Structure 1
């Protein structure tokens, strides 16, 4: 009787360990692939990015800024759409900058806020993809 009880407990414990091991392998396999696809390599980033050449415009404070951007999209199709919408993107940039003061653009926080603002504004006009990140590649504030 005692041997039978020990055998049953051993079988139950081994079954639980086996099911847990299989579940762990399945979870690791599926989450591991998502992380690999979530972070594109630099070649993929470059292929899905578009440069906005230097723009010079007045700020609300009377100063002027000369600024250039690189905009990263989520796909090659989105990049093609962004290239076609270049005039709209420039309009968004100039409009946003015309509402800002020189103090708004000073320092890291000001530039990051501008990048996020442009990202959300440009995403509103995009149809075939979305903007992942806006990078300021050149900036002169006078």
Structure 2
């Protein structure tokens, strides 16, 4: 009689532990699905949310001359539309930043990455509808 009662208690405990484990597993998998990152945008969506900066030619701090064009990728179509309206401010920021730099500052990959990062943060300070996610140098000549 005691063995049967002990067996019943052990079976109840085992079923309870199993049920708790299943509930925890289901909750964790559902939680991870909700936190999954949104899908990467397609190239068409990226192009729709991007703005071309026309070719700029300006002097650097060391009297070198740089000519470049940029593409600014934003996080939404609305942000791109705002950026088109702010083209004069964007050009001003780019020219001001280049005026502070020397030819050596722009040398190599690291110099260009630093320039892109600076432009991105300065433009994002202006933005009200979204933000610039990436700055691409699409052409670059320095003399």
**Normalized against structure 1, the TM-score is what?**
0.93
Give the aligned partner of residue 22 of structure 1. Answer: 26
Aligned pairs (5 A) from 1:54-93:
54-93=55-94
The aligned length equals 139
Find the residue that maps to 1:82 and give its secondary structure.
Answer: helix
Report which of the two has the higher share of helix: 1
Of structures 1 and 2, the larger Rg is shown by: 2
* Distance in 2 separating the partners of 1:78 and 1:22: 39
Unaligned runs of 5+ in 2: none
* Distance in 2 separating the partners of 1:141 and 1:65: 4
Select the residue among 36, 39, 58 that pairs with 2:38.
Answer: 36
**Normalized against structure 2, the TM-score is what?**
0.92
* Distance in 2 separating the partners of 1:127 and 1:31: 27
Moved over 3 A (4+): none
Unaligned runs of 5+ in 1: none
The alignment yields a C-alpha RMSD, in angstroms, of 1.1
